[in-house]
Structures are given as structure tokens and as C-alpha cells.
Amino acid sequence: MVILMVKLKNLQFNGVKKLKEVFRLSRIRIIFIQIILLMAISSVGAIQIGELEYQPNIVHPGDDVDIWIKITNDNYNNELKNIVVEITPHYPFELKQVNPVKGKAYISHLNVGESDTVHFKLHVNENAPSNNYEIDVKVSYDEVENENGKEIINHYEVTKVYHLPVYGVANFEVFGNFSLIPAKTQTVPIIISNLGTGKAKDVNIYIGYELNSVNAGTQSTEISAYGTTKTVEENIFYPTVIPIQNLPISPVGITKFYLGTIKPGESKEIFVKLYTSDKLSEGSYQIPIVITWTGEDGSKKATLVSLGAYVKGDIALGISNVITDPVEIKPGTTYARIDVTITNNGHQEAKNVVLHLITKKPFKDSWSNCNIKDIGNLLPGMSKTVSFYVDVDKYAKAGHYKLPIEITYLDTTDNEHSTEKFIDIYIKPKPLFEILTKEVNVTAGEDNVVYIKIKNIGNEKAVEVKVSAIKNSGQPFDYPVKSDTVGTLYPNQTGVATITIHPNKDAPSKPYYITLEIRCAGDSEEGDNNVYVYQKPLKVVVKNSNSGEFGILIGIALLVIITGAGYYLYRKKKKTNE
């Protein structure tokens, strides 16, 4: 758009609107004014302001722009002098110094038909959005007329308004608020934001790629600015995305995402599956991302950015290598030692690690606090072995038992955590016996055959069961037949053994407890080749008619009888006398 502002030396006009205010003038005056106006307008035609020439041809924010303007004397009769070209840029342009006076260029004179070119330089604000921006160019000059040999100078000013297109540039930033764990695949959000000044079209995101430029040849470009033309040879490079192999943090599945158009200040979110190598320790890592798009000026763009990702070392405590001593734990086992190995399979140190074996029936702690173990710190990959001690109930059923181990620890930021692991303890079956015969009575000085009833209360077949009496030198007993074989007893089956007990003839009459030994073999058909030996007490009550105790009892009985008889005779005699 061109706006012509004409200033006459002795007469100024404010346009046709002003003419309407003089409607009271005579018709002749109006015609006269119109003639003068036409003369003034024809005088403006003495100078021509050419179109704007600029480099670069496509202007972006942050560019320095060279501007050339061609000024031509179109007057067919008169010379132009003292020509001043003044440029007034608006936002986002800023003048740079290229002329003696900033923003002004001077032409001393232009003969009829002669031209000259003025040069300016502008800087475009880095934050300018895409738009057509105004530049005002004002040209002031003097026109020299010769009238009847007399030189007449008329001064004029002309302003021309230009609009220079500026194409904003997209500027991308990627970020994600997440942490990764080694040896795991996680789906994480990634946000792509256009922080630039230009709209990006056909945006593509490549996760785990690098950017390479492929030379596609050369092209010739002619740059012209008012009679000056030069040819520039330049290489043509096309950005090419190439996937990167063996990344420590690598995408899984989809690696390319199409986002369409992203306007300035707009963000879009994608979800990406990432696998983190198990070899990574805790720390920050970079994920390469390539972004390609088409700019507002139609050019193809590509950039390589890095997404920061924090790998947080996990703590993964595991229990392994469960070893027991004895190897075979059976009902009735005491002080059985259970060795377990705890390993930190994670990627972060575990501090103040405490293990607590929680026992429950048929197990119990062998002694107080024997199953709480404080092992200190465990570095990644480190192992420690601890020992627990348990007693097994003698009536425990055979089978597998899950014993819980409660583990508490602190992470590197002193947050407390707890987890529970289980160990498998197998209680093997074995025979177990109960003597059903509670007591036997024997007579001193005689051979007494006693019958002893036993029961297999265990959970395994007992083979070749044998019951024997163990002689104690401190007891007044001999055993003419001290053992008997019962044979095979299945679980819950009973059997009877006979032994002969001969108390000494002077053995006092009282109860005694003798020791019986029950011996058997395990069930070889089930792989049990052990020999089991049990000792059980049996109450034996001795009766001896010749013992001192028996005589004392007889004497006491006779004394009681005599005393009673005397008292009876005394009472009878007393009644007779009365």
C-alpha cells in the first residue's frame, strides 16, 4: 500500500474532505482549486520509490535483513536535489547502523530519468511470531524548476508503506516427569512443546534415533538486488533419521509418532515404552529424539534433542540357598539350623537390613530372639548368609511348610521398607511311639510276665519294632526276658510286647519307673533307611509280703484291733457295775 503525502511550500491540502467545506465558494473557485490540486499531484510523480528488495529472501526471527530501495527521477523536465530516504521500522524490526546517519540515506541529486539505490539493514526480534510487519519509508526532496530563466525550488515529502513477511521458526522442547528402573520395561509420558514463534506442520517424533545429513547434490541460486546479480552454488543436504542400536535406554515397539501440526505455545503428549538395561546404576541418562517437521515457509526441518531420564536403582532382596542341619528335619527335631542366603538383586544399596524368621506350629524358636538377624547394609549384587534355629514338635505331620521371613530395610534416602519372603521346610515322616500301658504290678521274688501295649503315633510305617527293658543297677530288678519283637506297625496301629520282670525278694513295696527302649527301622520303600531308637518310662508297682513295711502294717493293724477290743470290754464292764 502506498500513501502519498504532498507538502507544497506555500499551500497545503488536506484532501477532498476539506474541499467539501468550501461548498459555499463559487463554481469558478472550485475549478481553480482543482487545477492547483492536479498540478500538485503531477509534481509528486517526479519521484518513484521502487519495491522493497531484501536478503535473505525468507526472513526469520533473529535474522539480519539487508534492504535495498531504488529511487528514480520520473520527472521529464526537472532535476531533483537533496534527496533524503528515511526508513522507520515497526516491531519486530530494529535498525542497524550502515549509513552515516542511522536510518537515513542521502542522494545529492538525480537528473531526469536517473536512478540510485539506498541500503539499510534491519534486525528481526528473536521472539517475533509469523506475520507481515510494517516498514515506513519517507522520501523528501527538492524539485528544481526553471521558469523564464528563474530557478524555482519546490520541496516535497512522500511516504510509502511496505509489509515485510516474517516466518516464525518452531523451537521444540521435550520433557517427561518419570523415573526408570533397571531391567524393566515401562510406559512413560513424553511431552513435546513448541516454544518457538512459528507453526510446525507434519511433525514426526523418532525415539532412539540420530540425525544424519545426506548430500543430495548441489543447486545454483541467483541473488539479485537492483542490477547486481550473483550466483551462489550450495550443497543440498537432506536430514535423515537413523535408529541407534544397543542404547542403554531403548524404545520397545513403536518408535515413530506422527503429531500433525503444533502451533507456537502448544504441547502434545505421547506414551512410549522404554526398556532400561540391567547394567545401569542410579543416575541421569539421555534419550536421543529426532523431530522432523515442515516450517511455515515450506522448508523441511529436523532437529536432534535429548530427553533427560533418571534411572532410580531398585532394591530387590531375594532369599536363596536354604540349607538345614540336619539335612532331614523330622518330628521332634530340636535346634535344627536353617541357613538362608539373602541377596540384593537390585541396583541400589539396602541399609540396616533386618531378617525375622516368624515361627508357628509345629515350629518354635529354639531360644529367645534367636531368629532376628541384623545384617547391616547390602550393596547391589551382594549376598549374606544368616542362620536360624527352630525346634519341631514331635507330633508334627509330615509335609512342606512355608515359613515367612520378614525383611525390613532403608533405601538410600532413609525411607523404611518391608517385604516378606517364604522358605520351604520339609518335615519328613518317621515312626513315633506311645506306651498305652500306664503301669504294671509285680510281686517281689517272682518272675512276672508283663504285657506292654504300644502304638505307632507317627506318620511312617515302623519295621521290626522291638521293645527292651534297660537294666538300672540302682533298681532291684532283673529281666529274665528283657526284650520282645512286635514286628511291623503302621501309623496308628498298636502292638503288644512281653517282658519278664523279677524283683528282688527284699524289694520294698512301692512304685518304680523303669526305662523301655523302643527300636525300629524306617520304611525303606519310602527311602527311609534310618534306625530309630526311643526311650520311654514305664511305672512298675512292686508288692512284697515279707518286706518290713508289710510287718509294720500288720502290727499297726493288730494294735488297732487290741485297742478296740479293750475299749469295748471297758465299756461293757462299766455298764454292768451301774
Strand pairing of 336-344 and 383-392?
antiparallel
Q: pLDDT (tens digit, 9 = 90+) per residue, 368-419? A: 888 999 999 999 889 999 999 999 998 888 899 999 999 999 988 899 999 9
Contacts of 65 (CB under 8 A, 6+ apart): 54, 55, 56, 59, 93, 121, 122, 123, 124, 164
CA atoms of 7 and 139, how far apart (whole Å): 12
Q: Which of 208-217, 358-367, 425-434 has the lowest mean pLDDT?
A: 208-217
Residue 144 lies in a domain: yes
Cα pseudo-dihedral 292, 293, 299, 302, rounded to 10: -20
**Separation between Cα atoms, residue 554 and residue 469, nearest integer Å:** 34
Residues 344, 282 share a domain: no
Do 178 and 284 lie in a common domain?
A: yes
Same domain as 514, residue 488: yes
Q: What is the pTM of this model?
A: 0.56
241 and 346 part of one domain:
no
In a shared domain, residues 418 and 452: no
Q: Within 10 A of 417 (CB to CB), how many other CB atoms are there?
A: 12
Q: Which residue has the cell 475299749?
A: 567
What confidence category does residue 240 fall into, taking pLDDT thresholds of 50, 70 and 90? confident
pLDDT(155) > 70? yes
C-alpha cell at 332: 521332634
pLDDT digits (tens, 9 = 90+) for 406-455: 999 998 889 999 999 999 999 988 899 999 999 999 999 999 999 999 99
- DSSP, collapsed to helix, strand or coil, labels residue 307 as strand
Q: Report strand pairing: 462-470 vs 511-521.
A: antiparallel
Query: Is 481 in the same domain as 571?
Result: no
pLDDT band at 222 (very low <50, low <70, confident <90, very high): low
pLDDT tens per residue across span 497-532: 999 999 999 999 999 999 999 999 999 888 888 899
pLDDT value at position 235? 58
Residue 7 lies in a domain: no
pLDDT at 575 (0 to 100) = 64
Residues 415, 344 share a domain: yes
Which CATH number do you get for residue 215? 2.60.40
The reported pLDDT for the residue numbered 36 is 46
**In the listed set 260, 287, 311, which residue is the last one of a domain according to the structure?**
311
> 215-226 b/e with 16+ CB inside 10 Å = b?
eeeeeeeeeebe
Is 316 domain-assigned?
no
307 and 248 share a domain?
yes
State how many domains the chain has. Answer: 5
- Across the strands, what pairs with 70? 117
How confident is residue 555, by pLDDT bands cut at 50, 70 and 90? low
pLDDT in tens, 21-79: 443 444 545 444 444 444 444 344 579 999 999 999 999 999 999 999 999 999 888 89
Alpha-carbon distance 405 to 425, whole Å? 12
Residue 570 has pLDDT above 90, yes or no: no
Could you tell me if residue 289 is inside a domain?
yes
- 401 and 469 in a single domain? The answer is no
Same domain, 220 and 253: yes
Query: What values do phi and psi take at 227, rounded to 5?
Result: 90, -15
206 and 293, same domain (yes or no): yes
Q: Is position 377 within any domain?
A: yes
The pLDDT value recorded for residue 38 is 41
Structural domain that includes position 297: 172-311
Q: How many CA atoms lie within 13 A of 115 on its CB side?
A: 12
Q: Which of 365, 400, 426 is the last residue of a domain?
A: 426
pLDDT in tens, 284-317: 999 999 999 999 988 899 999 999 999 988 888 9
Is 141 a residue whose pLDDT tops 80? yes
In a domain, 158, yes or no: yes
Q: Which residues pair with 188 in a beta bridge?
A: 272
Give me the CATH number covering residue 56: 2.60.40.10
Same domain assignment for residues 455 and 556: no
pLDDT at 553: 55
Is 33 contained in some domain? no
Q: What percent of the chain has pLDDT over 90?
A: 64
Q: Is the pLDDT of residue 548 over 70?
A: no
Confidence at residue 19, expressed as pLDDT on a 0 to 100 scale = 38
Tens digits of residue pLDDT in 481-495: 999 999 999 999 999
pLDDT of residue 512: 94
Please indicate, yes or no, if residue 78 is contained in any of the structural domains: yes
Which one-letter DSSP state was computed for residue 347?
S
Instruction: Tell whether the model's pLDDT for residue 477 goes beyond 90.
Output: yes
Q: How many residues does the chain have?
A: 578
Q: Bridge partners of 318?
A: 343
Q: What pLDDT is stored for residue 10 in this prediction?
A: 33
Final residue belonging to a domain, choices 281, 311, 341: 311
Q: What is the pLDDT of residue 369?
A: 84
| pLDDT of res. 278 | 85
pLDDT of residue 431: 92
User: What is residue 380's predicted lDDT score, i.e. its pLDDT?
Assistant: 86
